[in-house]
Structure 1
Amino acid sequence: MNYTIKQANLENLDETAVLFNLYRIFYRQEDDYEKCRNFIRERLDNDQSDIFLIYVDNKAVGFVQLYKLYHYVKLAKQWLLSDLFVHPNYRGKGLSVALIERAKKWCDETGACGLMLETEKTNDIGNTLYPRCGFEYDGLHNYYYWWR
Protein backbone atom coordinates (compact mmCIF):
# COMPACT_ATOMS: atom_id res chain seq x y z
CA MET A 1 0.00 0.00 0.00
CA ASN A 2 1.33 3.43 -0.90
CA TYR A 3 1.38 5.92 1.93
CA THR A 4 3.13 9.06 3.12
CA ILE A 5 3.87 10.15 6.68
CA LYS A 6 3.99 13.81 7.64
CA GLN A 7 4.53 15.59 10.93
CA ALA A 8 1.30 17.22 12.08
CA ASN A 9 0.97 20.95 12.58
CA LEU A 10 -1.88 23.42 12.93
CA GLU A 11 -2.59 23.24 9.19
CA ASN A 12 -3.86 19.68 9.62
CA LEU A 13 -5.42 20.18 13.04
CA ASP A 14 -8.91 19.18 11.88
CA GLU A 15 -7.93 15.86 10.33
CA THR A 16 -5.74 15.08 13.35
CA ALA A 17 -8.64 15.84 15.70
CA VAL A 18 -11.00 13.59 13.74
CA LEU A 19 -8.60 10.66 14.10
CA PHE A 20 -7.88 11.45 17.76
CA ASN A 21 -11.62 11.47 18.48
CA LEU A 22 -12.00 8.06 16.80
CA TYR A 23 -9.04 6.79 18.82
CA ARG A 24 -10.69 7.87 22.07
CA ILE A 25 -13.99 6.27 21.02
CA PHE A 26 -12.01 3.03 20.47
CA TYR A 27 -11.01 3.33 24.15
CA ARG A 28 -14.66 3.68 25.20
CA GLN A 29 -14.66 7.48 25.60
CA GLU A 30 -17.50 9.73 24.52
CA ASP A 31 -17.52 11.25 21.03
CA ASP A 32 -16.31 14.83 21.51
CA TYR A 33 -14.62 16.26 18.44
CA GLU A 34 -14.36 19.82 19.79
CA LYS A 35 -12.70 18.73 23.01
CA CYS A 36 -10.28 16.59 21.01
CA ARG A 37 -9.55 19.46 18.64
CA ASN A 38 -8.80 21.78 21.56
CA PHE A 39 -6.59 19.16 23.19
CA ILE A 40 -4.54 18.60 20.03
CA ARG A 41 -4.31 22.35 19.36
CA GLU A 42 -2.93 22.91 22.86
CA ARG A 43 -0.33 20.14 22.44
CA LEU A 44 0.81 21.62 19.11
CA ASP A 45 0.65 25.27 20.22
CA ASN A 46 2.79 24.55 23.28
CA ASP A 47 5.18 22.12 21.60
CA GLN A 48 4.12 19.42 24.08
CA SER A 49 3.92 16.49 21.70
CA ASP A 50 4.98 15.42 18.26
CA ILE A 51 2.36 13.83 16.05
CA PHE A 52 2.90 12.03 12.76
CA LEU A 53 0.00 11.43 10.38
CA ILE A 54 -0.10 8.65 7.80
CA TYR A 55 -1.87 9.38 4.50
CA VAL A 56 -3.31 7.01 1.92
CA ASP A 57 -4.59 8.62 -1.27
CA ASN A 58 -4.11 12.07 0.34
CA LYS A 59 -6.41 11.14 3.24
CA ALA A 60 -5.13 11.00 6.84
CA VAL A 61 -5.95 7.51 8.09
CA GLY A 62 -3.81 7.17 11.20
CA PHE A 63 -1.41 8.83 13.60
CA VAL A 64 1.17 8.34 16.31
CA GLN A 65 1.60 10.84 19.15
CA LEU A 66 4.84 11.10 21.12
CA TYR A 67 5.60 12.90 24.38
CA LYS A 68 9.11 13.72 25.57
CA LEU A 69 10.32 11.99 28.75
CA TYR A 70 13.69 11.41 30.34
CA HIS A 71 15.09 8.02 31.31
CA TYR A 72 16.64 7.90 34.79
CA VAL A 73 18.96 4.95 34.05
CA LYS A 74 20.17 5.99 30.61
CA LEU A 75 20.26 9.68 31.63
CA ALA A 76 18.84 10.59 28.26
CA LYS A 77 15.72 11.79 26.53
CA GLN A 78 13.21 9.15 25.48
CA TRP A 79 9.79 9.31 23.86
CA LEU A 80 6.54 8.01 25.25
CA LEU A 81 4.57 6.49 22.40
CA SER A 82 1.32 7.63 23.93
CA ASP A 83 -1.17 7.16 21.14
CA LEU A 84 -1.20 5.01 18.00
CA PHE A 85 -4.28 4.68 15.83
CA VAL A 86 -5.16 3.55 12.32
CA HIS A 87 -8.72 3.92 11.04
CA PRO A 88 -10.45 0.49 11.09
CA ASN A 89 -10.92 0.58 7.29
CA TYR A 90 -7.13 0.69 6.85
CA ARG A 91 -5.97 -1.84 9.42
CA GLY A 92 -4.01 -4.94 8.50
CA LYS A 93 -2.06 -3.14 5.79
CA GLY A 94 1.16 -2.38 7.70
CA LEU A 95 0.33 1.25 8.48
CA SER A 96 0.76 0.85 12.26
CA VAL A 97 4.17 -0.69 11.68
CA ALA A 98 5.07 2.24 9.40
CA LEU A 99 4.04 4.73 12.11
CA ILE A 100 6.11 2.87 14.71
CA GLU A 101 9.10 2.88 12.37
CA ARG A 102 8.64 6.64 11.93
CA ALA A 103 8.62 7.03 15.72
CA LYS A 104 11.88 5.06 15.93
CA LYS A 105 13.39 7.29 13.26
CA TRP A 106 12.25 10.31 15.32
CA CYS A 107 14.35 8.93 18.19
CA ASP A 108 17.39 8.97 15.90
CA GLU A 109 16.57 12.47 14.66
CA THR A 110 16.17 13.88 18.17
CA GLY A 111 18.97 11.98 19.90
CA ALA A 112 16.58 10.02 22.13
CA CYS A 113 17.55 6.69 23.67
CA GLY A 114 14.30 4.99 22.68
CA LEU A 115 10.56 4.62 22.99
CA MET A 116 8.34 3.36 25.77
CA LEU A 117 4.64 2.62 25.72
CA GLU A 118 1.87 0.98 27.64
CA THR A 119 -1.37 -0.46 26.44
CA GLU A 120 -4.35 -2.19 27.98
CA LYS A 121 -3.98 -5.88 28.68
CA THR A 122 -7.14 -6.36 26.61
CA ASN A 123 -5.64 -4.67 23.51
CA ASP A 124 -4.99 -7.90 21.62
CA ILE A 125 -3.94 -6.08 18.45
CA GLY A 126 -1.39 -3.89 20.23
CA ASN A 127 -0.10 -6.70 22.40
CA THR A 128 0.66 -8.67 19.23
CA LEU A 129 1.94 -5.70 17.22
CA TYR A 130 4.44 -4.21 19.66
CA PRO A 131 6.65 -7.29 20.19
CA ARG A 132 6.60 -7.83 16.41
CA CYS A 133 8.05 -4.30 16.07
CA GLY A 134 10.90 -4.98 18.46
CA PHE A 135 9.37 -3.81 21.75
CA GLU A 136 10.13 -5.92 24.80
CA TYR A 137 7.49 -6.63 27.39
CA ASP A 138 8.51 -5.36 30.83
CA GLY A 139 6.91 -7.77 33.26
CA LEU A 140 8.98 -6.44 36.17
CA HIS A 141 7.11 -3.20 36.69
CA ASN A 142 3.58 -2.32 37.62
CA TYR A 143 2.15 0.92 36.34
CA TYR A 144 -0.05 2.81 38.76
CA TYR A 145 -2.22 5.84 38.21
CA TRP A 146 -3.53 8.55 40.42
CA TRP A 147 -6.47 10.52 39.05
CA ARG A 148 -8.00 13.56 40.60
Structure 2
Amino acid sequence: MIKQVTLETLQDLIPLFDAYRQFYDKDSNLKLAKDFLKSRIINNESVIYIVYNEDKAVGFVQLYPSFSSTRLKRFWILNDLFVSPVFRGKGFSKQLIEESKNLCRKTDACAMLLETSINNSIGNSLYKQTGFELRDDANFYEWSTK
Protein backbone atom coordinates (compact mmCIF):
# COMPACT_ATOMS: atom_id res chain seq x y z
CA MET A 1 0.00 0.00 0.00
CA ILE A 2 1.28 3.46 -0.92
CA LYS A 3 0.19 6.70 0.72
CA GLN A 4 1.14 10.31 0.20
CA VAL A 5 2.86 11.54 3.34
CA THR A 6 0.93 14.09 5.38
CA LEU A 7 1.59 15.56 8.80
CA GLU A 8 -0.46 12.67 10.20
CA THR A 9 1.83 10.02 8.64
CA LEU A 10 5.09 11.96 9.00
CA GLN A 11 6.21 9.84 11.98
CA ASP A 12 6.27 6.75 9.75
CA LEU A 13 8.68 8.49 7.37
CA ILE A 14 11.24 9.94 9.79
CA PRO A 15 13.20 6.72 10.57
CA LEU A 16 13.32 5.81 6.86
CA PHE A 17 14.50 9.29 5.88
CA ASP A 18 17.15 9.19 8.61
CA ALA A 19 18.36 5.78 7.37
CA TYR A 20 18.46 7.18 3.82
CA ARG A 21 20.66 10.06 4.97
CA GLN A 22 22.94 7.66 6.84
CA PHE A 23 23.27 5.59 3.66
CA TYR A 24 24.80 8.74 2.14
CA ASP A 25 27.23 9.10 5.06
CA LYS A 26 25.30 11.80 6.92
CA ASP A 27 25.01 11.74 10.70
CA SER A 28 21.75 10.51 12.17
CA ASN A 29 19.55 13.35 13.36
CA LEU A 30 15.89 12.50 13.80
CA LYS A 31 14.90 16.00 14.93
CA LEU A 32 16.45 17.74 11.93
CA ALA A 33 14.99 15.08 9.63
CA LYS A 34 11.54 15.69 11.09
CA ASP A 35 11.89 19.49 10.82
CA PHE A 36 13.10 19.27 7.21
CA LEU A 37 10.30 16.95 6.10
CA LYS A 38 7.62 18.84 8.02
CA SER A 39 8.67 22.05 6.29
CA ARG A 40 8.47 20.41 2.85
CA ILE A 41 4.93 19.21 3.61
CA ILE A 42 3.64 22.43 5.19
CA ASN A 43 5.05 24.60 2.39
CA ASN A 44 3.95 22.21 -0.40
CA GLU A 45 7.55 22.05 -1.61
CA SER A 46 7.64 18.34 -2.34
CA VAL A 47 5.44 15.30 -2.75
CA ILE A 48 6.44 12.27 -0.69
CA TYR A 49 5.02 8.79 -1.03
CA ILE A 50 5.57 6.04 1.50
CA VAL A 51 5.11 2.33 0.85
CA TYR A 52 3.96 -0.12 3.50
CA ASN A 53 4.44 -3.86 3.83
CA GLU A 54 1.39 -4.80 5.87
CA ASP A 55 1.51 -2.06 8.56
CA LYS A 56 5.25 -1.36 8.42
CA ALA A 57 6.66 1.58 6.46
CA VAL A 58 9.44 0.14 4.29
CA GLY A 59 10.31 2.80 1.70
CA PHE A 60 9.67 6.24 0.31
CA VAL A 61 10.18 8.51 -2.66
CA GLN A 62 10.39 12.31 -2.56
CA LEU A 63 9.78 14.46 -5.62
CA TYR A 64 10.38 18.17 -6.08
CA PRO A 65 8.57 20.27 -8.67
CA SER A 66 10.40 22.32 -11.26
CA PHE A 67 9.55 23.84 -14.62
CA SER A 68 10.80 23.65 -18.17
CA SER A 69 10.82 27.00 -19.95
CA THR A 70 11.36 25.37 -23.33
CA ARG A 71 8.56 22.83 -22.88
CA LEU A 72 6.32 25.32 -21.05
CA LYS A 73 5.40 22.69 -18.48
CA ARG A 74 6.16 21.38 -15.05
CA PHE A 75 8.53 18.49 -14.51
CA TRP A 76 9.35 16.54 -11.37
CA ILE A 77 12.74 15.76 -9.88
CA LEU A 78 12.86 12.35 -8.28
CA ASN A 79 15.31 13.37 -5.59
CA ASP A 80 15.10 10.60 -2.99
CA LEU A 81 14.22 6.93 -3.30
CA PHE A 82 14.88 4.51 -0.46
CA VAL A 83 13.72 1.07 0.60
CA SER A 84 14.89 -0.56 3.83
CA PRO A 85 17.61 -3.10 3.04
CA VAL A 86 15.61 -6.11 4.29
CA PHE A 87 12.75 -5.23 1.92
CA ARG A 88 14.81 -4.64 -1.23
CA GLY A 89 14.23 -6.84 -4.25
CA LYS A 90 10.52 -7.24 -3.47
CA GLY A 91 9.18 -4.65 -5.92
CA PHE A 92 8.67 -1.74 -3.51
CA SER A 93 10.97 0.61 -5.45
CA LYS A 94 9.08 -0.14 -8.65
CA GLN A 95 5.78 0.59 -6.90
CA LEU A 96 7.13 3.95 -5.70
CA ILE A 97 8.38 4.82 -9.19
CA GLU A 98 5.00 3.91 -10.70
CA GLU A 99 3.26 6.16 -8.18
CA SER A 100 5.69 8.92 -9.15
CA LYS A 101 4.78 8.43 -12.80
CA ASN A 102 1.12 8.73 -11.84
CA LEU A 103 1.90 12.07 -10.20
CA CYS A 104 3.48 13.23 -13.45
CA ARG A 105 0.40 12.20 -15.38
CA LYS A 106 -2.00 13.84 -12.88
CA THR A 107 -0.08 17.13 -12.96
CA ASP A 108 0.38 17.14 -16.73
CA ALA A 109 4.15 17.16 -16.28
CA CYS A 110 6.41 16.76 -19.29
CA ALA A 111 9.04 14.61 -17.57
CA MET A 112 10.58 13.21 -14.41
CA LEU A 113 14.31 13.62 -13.95
CA LEU A 114 16.70 11.95 -11.55
CA GLU A 115 20.37 11.72 -10.84
CA THR A 116 22.26 8.73 -9.52
CA SER A 117 25.88 7.74 -9.22
CA ILE A 118 27.55 5.99 -12.13
CA ASN A 119 28.60 3.34 -9.58
CA ASN A 120 25.03 2.71 -8.35
CA SER A 121 24.56 -0.49 -10.34
CA ILE A 122 21.32 -1.45 -8.59
CA GLY A 123 19.78 1.99 -9.11
CA ASN A 124 20.96 2.27 -12.70
CA SER A 125 19.45 -1.13 -13.48
CA LEU A 126 16.19 -0.24 -11.71
CA TYR A 127 15.77 3.03 -13.57
CA LYS A 128 16.33 1.40 -16.96
CA GLN A 129 13.84 -1.36 -16.06
CA THR A 130 11.21 1.23 -15.17
CA GLY A 131 11.47 3.18 -18.42
CA PHE A 132 13.99 5.91 -17.65
CA GLU A 133 16.44 6.71 -20.42
CA LEU A 134 20.05 7.67 -19.77
CA ARG A 135 20.68 10.99 -21.45
CA ASP A 136 23.98 11.50 -23.20
CA ASP A 137 23.18 14.86 -24.75
CA ALA A 138 23.84 17.04 -21.70
CA ASN A 139 26.43 17.63 -19.03
CA PHE A 140 25.51 17.86 -15.38
CA TYR A 141 27.26 20.65 -13.47
CA GLU A 142 27.11 21.64 -9.83
CA TRP A 143 28.16 24.78 -8.01
CA SER A 144 28.49 24.32 -4.27
CA THR A 145 28.88 26.78 -1.41
CA LYS A 146 31.42 24.61 0.39
Partner deviation per Cα, 1:97-119 (whole Å, 9 max, x = no partner): 11000000111111111211001
Q: Which runs of 5+ in 2 are unaligned?
A: none
Answering whether residue 84 of structure 2 is matched by residue 87 of structure 1, we say yes
Q: Residue 93 of structure 2 corresponds to which residue in structure 1?
A: 96
Q: Percent identity?
A: 43
How far is the alpha carbon of 1:64 from its aligned partner?
Answer: 0.6
Q: Cα RMSD over matched residues?
A: 1.0
Count of residues in Structure 1 that have an aligned counterpart in Structure 2: 145
After TM superposition, the structure 1 = structure 2 runs for residues 1-148 of structure 1, keeping only pairs within 5 Å, are 4-148=1-145
Gaps of 5+ in 1: none
Report which stretch shifted further, 9-18 or 77-86: 9-18
What TM-score do the two structures reach when normalised by structure 2? 0.95
Matched AA of 2:42: D
* Segments of 4+ moved more than 3 angstroms: none
Counterparts of 1:101 and 1:60, CA distance in 2: 17
